[in-house]
Structure 1
Amino acid sequence: MADLRRFLFLGLLTVLVVGCQARPTPLTDNPPEPLPSYEDVQTRAQERVGSLDRFWAVASVGLRFKDADGDSRREQGEGHFQIVKPSSVALTVGKLGETYLLLGCDDDRFWWIERLDERVAYVGDQDGARDLAAARVGVPVLPTDILKLADLNAWPEPGSPGAGRVIEIQRDDLDASKIFAVEFDEGDRTRVVYLTRLAYEPVGVDLVTEAGDIAARSQLLGFERVLNRIDPLNHQRVPSRILVDVPSAESRIELSLSRMEISNRRPKALVFDFDELVRRFRIDSVVPLEDIELGAGR
């Protein structure tokens, strides 16, 4: 009996010692899935916006920016967001059916038309217009920048000079286990598109300067299918809410889109015709951007 008790005691002691030495395996986050190939992501982007050559939507618009005098301004209203690619874009803001702000461009020119205290149109060449527009008029981004920040442009083909590079994200405010990024070298800027690992759907875009500063950052929310009246079998999807921040200009643009469609009926050519817009809106003065002195009152 003594031997049996001794055996049981030693067995229990062994269990206790082993139990005390064992350590629970710490819980760790699952490592991110391997990055997808650019080819796979580009194929999904092509399905989403590859044939989005024309676009029309009702837009609820909020603008916060500093004008050329350094005064903070806020504008809010209803209007339209209209695109005919490659480079014709128009964003209008109005109330009670009357347009009082219009940001637009065609292949050659950019313009900002106001019908507030005075009827004035600011206009400049597309080349070099970005810095002039921000510094001299207070316009936070060019219309073509909105296309990039909303990720509405077709992605470059794999193997082409403009093809992107799939990377892990470098932002603390995004979850790397759920989000990855594709980086595009665009000469004087780098464009970084952030996408979900699950569906390759964009959640935001950064435009980064050569110095590494954020020129503009967007959030993309509420993707919805666009009504395609030209080719109903194509199922384009675009964000219904677009938030754009421009840190250097202390500016913000908020777009909420509805009734989105692709059709030959609209946009009308008029919205991209600067000279006709000046005539229709009875603009009193047309001011070239290069003629505005920095810091001068308007």
Structure 2
Amino acid sequence: MLERRTRVLYVTDLTYSARGRRYCDEDIFLSSRLRDGFDVALCHPRDAVALMDDFDVILVRNSGPVIHYSEDYAAFVRHARATGAKVFTELGGKADMAGKQYLLDLFDQGYPVTPTVDSLSDLDRLPLVEEYVVKPKLGADSVGLRFLERDELTPFEAGELLLQPRIDFLYEVSFYFIDHDFHYALNAPDPARRWELQPYQASAEDLAFAQAFIEWNSIDHGIQRVDACRTREGDLLLVELEDLNPYLSLDRLDPDLAEAFAQGLATSVQALADEPSGR
């Protein structure tokens, strides 16, 4: 009799389209590599609740911004917690998985993050700039993001929007982790071309910066992407800590690095599957 293999439900929206990125290619690659060691089935995020009980691990990948299916996602989270399902990335994330309140919290705690407030009454806590960024707390993938001059800012209901200075930065850089382990970094040399990425050799100081946010988030099993910008003074500031379904830009990597990432993913998924069930 064949030994039963770990069953993985790979949650993705293969039809999701984003400017400058082909999400489906990434999921085809990763799911094909996982199939070497697991029994893998792909499903749309709206179908996850109906299928998830028959799988050992539910792997959430490029499922698109949950703002587009918020009720389905809320039902997924409720069901996973009620049944003790093993979800990868784990649902206890404190960053984008839970909205963008963490940017306010980290700013208040003195972490090196983009200065962030959620009320015009706190505008004096931000640097004086020509333009500000206004974004919804529950937004993703630039949904609802606006750039406004100071005289265009109007009062908004506290708790719904975030207000940040539009920083004149040198470039953006992203650090990619599985669990607590750093795998690679990519940067966008041209600030106007966010997704034209190239390999980035991270310094020890860069890695210490990124690792601090990974440790803060306390996720044992999952993928996280630390997005930062390099200011003209040479500092790194956190832009976003994506801990739900970060796009990985694996097509920008040397094939050996992409394969190593896929192997690291498989190792972590199996480690989660092997943990005692919470049911």
TM-score, length of structure 1 as denominator length: 0.24
TM-score, length of structure 2 as denominator length: 0.25
Higher helix share: 2
Higher strand share: 1
Structure label with greater radius of gyration: 1
